[in-house]
Amino acid sequence: MKSKLSMQPSRLGPWLLAAAALLASVPALAQSLVMASTTSTEQSGLFPYLLPEFKKASGIDIKVVALGTGQAIDMARRGDADVLFVHDQAAEEKFVAEGFSLKRWPVMYNDFVLVGPAADPAQIRGRDIVLALKKLAAANAGFVSRGDKSGTHAAELRFWHLAALDAAKGSGYQSCGCGMGPALNIAASSGAYVLTDRGTWLNFKNRADLSVLVEGDGRLFNQYGVMVVNPAKFAHLKAAEAQKFVDWIVSPAGQGVIASYKIGGEQLFFPNAGK
């Protein structure tokens, strides 16, 4: 007579076969990585359009943490992101020089615009950003600064510096310490002026009577770059997956997706990888 113990394998056989079949039917866990990026790429609607195309091509999911560029860079410096996609070239080049990435790739560009009340009480309308800021300061006009160390905030401070108004921006100047969308909302509700990237502006729905007043100045050029965070600094990072994203976004396929993203027929970003 067989013992109970000797019979257990035969009893378990069908269960083991069923379990094996079930496991075989479950897809492998998707690869994923974390991207530290800017509020402008998120709030413009680019990532919801772009990242599904990358997943189709690679099978890799990307979790985006959208912050001001300065905060995004700090996140990458702590090893909390696998890839960095931002728009402050000087800060990006410093990030590479300090060894936090081995290379920076240019990806795309658009421009900044200065928006404000359509009636333009400070009379700044035109193509000269420096002259416009001088007029705003002289009129003590309401101006909303992001004040969040973002790429847009860094650009705004550069323009104030060019106007020699670092410490004299007028009594209407206010810093919200917020993202681009909230800054635009404050300007719309208070009739103030604000500097914004064009992508977020085109996707912004709560404009009230805001209108683009200053555009076309070459100094308003807005370049975006992407970097793989150096795995030699943080061994846990998913450098291989991050490099796949970089390789894709600077490839003709990724660049084509960027170029095809439009709102109301207007292109938001212009690919320029390798240029």
Where do the domains of the chain lie, and which CATH numbers do they carry? 31-109+223-271 (3.40.190.10), 111-220 (3.40.190.10)
Give the pLDDT confidence of 203-254 residue by residue, as tens digits.
999 999 999 999 999 999 999 999 999 999 999 999 999 999 999 999 999 9
Q: How far apart are CA 112 and CA 236, in angstroms?
A: 36
Q: Which residues of 225-262 are buried (b: 16+ CB within 10 A; e: fewer)?
A: bbbbbbbeebeebbbebbebbbebbbeeebbebbeebe
- Looking at residues 173-191, what average pLDDT do you find? 96
> pLDDT at position 42, please?
87
Residue 174's pLDDT band, with cuts at 50, 70 and 90, is: very high
Residue 271 has a CB neighbour count (10 Å cut-off) of 22
Pairwise CA distance, residues 243 & 261, whole Å = 23
Strand 173-175, strand 143-145: pairing: parallel
Per the prediction, the chain carries an average pLDDT of 91
Q: Decide: 69 and 156 in contact? Cβ < 8 Å.
A: no
Helix (H, G, I), strand (E, B) or coil at 80: coil
Helices (H) and strands (E) counted in the chain, each on its own, are 11, 12
Q: 257, 263, 262, 18: which is closest to 271 by C-alpha? A: 257
SS3 state at 243: helix
What are the pLDDT digits (tens) for 54-107? Answer: 999 999 999 999 999 999 999 999 999 999 999 999 999 999 999 999 999 999
